[in-house]
Amino acid sequence: MKQATINALKTMGLTEYESKAYLSLASFISATALEISETSGVPQSKIYEVLRSLAKKGFIEITRGKPLKYSVVPPQDIFEKSRIKIKEELDEAESEVKTIYENQIPKSQAPIWLIYGADKIVKKEIEIIGRAKNSLHIASGFMFQNEIEQLNNALNKSLRKGIQARIIAAPYNITDGEKIDISKGLNGLDCEIKTFQIPFIKAIIRDKKEMMLIFSKFNDGVVISQTAIGVWNQYSEFVETIADLYNLVWTMNLFKHYY
C-alpha cells in the first residue's frame, strides 16, 4: 500500500485503519472480516469496528450471513462524491477566510505594504481585481512580460459580474528588451479604454477602497522588471481621493478611445 494513497483516503475522511481496510477490501471486492484483517494489518480486535465505520461512511456495504460479508463500493462513485464534498467544503472555507481577511485588512494599524518582484506584484493585482464589487480604475504606463493575458482573464471575470471598469493605458512599452503592446493587448475587454502615453507607473484602484501603485526603474526607456515595487494601500480616504482624481483626468480630452 502506497502511503500517498492512504494519505489521500485520510483526506477523504478515513482513519489509518479504515484506509488500510478499504484498500484491502478493494483487492478482494468482497471478503470476510478475518480476510480483511489478515491482509490489511488491522488487528482483529479492531476490524469489526473499522468495517462498521466504513459502511457508515458509504465506502463499503455489509451483506448479512454467517460470516458477514463486506463488499467494496465502486471506487469511482466514492471518489466522485468525495471530490464534490471536499470542493464544497474548500469553497465554503475559502469564502469565510477571505471575508475575515478582507474585513481585517483595513483595520490594520498600517494598511500599506511593499511588494517586490514582478510575479508577486501581478498576483496581487489579480487578487485586487478579483475583490472588486463595483468599480475598477486602472492606469498602466507599462506591463511586465506575460502580464496582459493574466490581467485579461481576471478583468473578464470581473466584467461578467457587472463591475464597471475604466482603463487608461499607454500604447506600448518595452520591458526587459521586449515590446509589449498594452492598448492592443487590452482591446478585447468589454469596457472603455483610453490610450495615452502615461509615465512608467501602474495603478489599480478597487471600489475606491483599495489600490496598488507599481513603480519600476527604467533605462533608456526600457523597464527593468527586477526592480519593480508595488505599494499596496488600504487607507480608504487616500484611495478615494486618488480615485476622484482619476475620474477627473478621465474627463479630459487627452485620449484616443478604444471599445
Annotated domain spans of the chain: 3-73, 110-258
pLDDT in tens, 174-206: 999 999 999 999 989 999 899 888 888 999 999
DSSP for residue 57: T
Q: For all residues of the chain together, what is the average pLDDT?
A: 89
Residue 59 is given by DSSP the state S
Out of 1.20.1440.130, 3.40.190.10, 3.60.15.10, 3.30.870.10, select the CATH number for domain 110-258: 3.30.870.10
| Inter-residue contact 256 to 233 (CB < 8 Å) | no
The set of residues, in sequence order, having a beta carbon less than 8 Å from that of 149 and lying 6+ positions away, is 185
Task: Give the range among 63-72, 221-230, 247-256 with minimum mean pLDDT.
Answer: 247-256
- Quick one: pLDDT at residue 259? 41
Q: Which residues face 3 on adjacent strands?
A: none
Report the pLDDT value the prediction gives residue 14, as an integer from 0 to 100.
92
The hierarchical CATH code for the domain 3-73 is: 1.10.10.10
Contact 131, 210 (CB under 8 A): yes
Higher model confidence: residue 102 or residue 246? 246
Instruction: Give the type of residue at 207.
Output: D
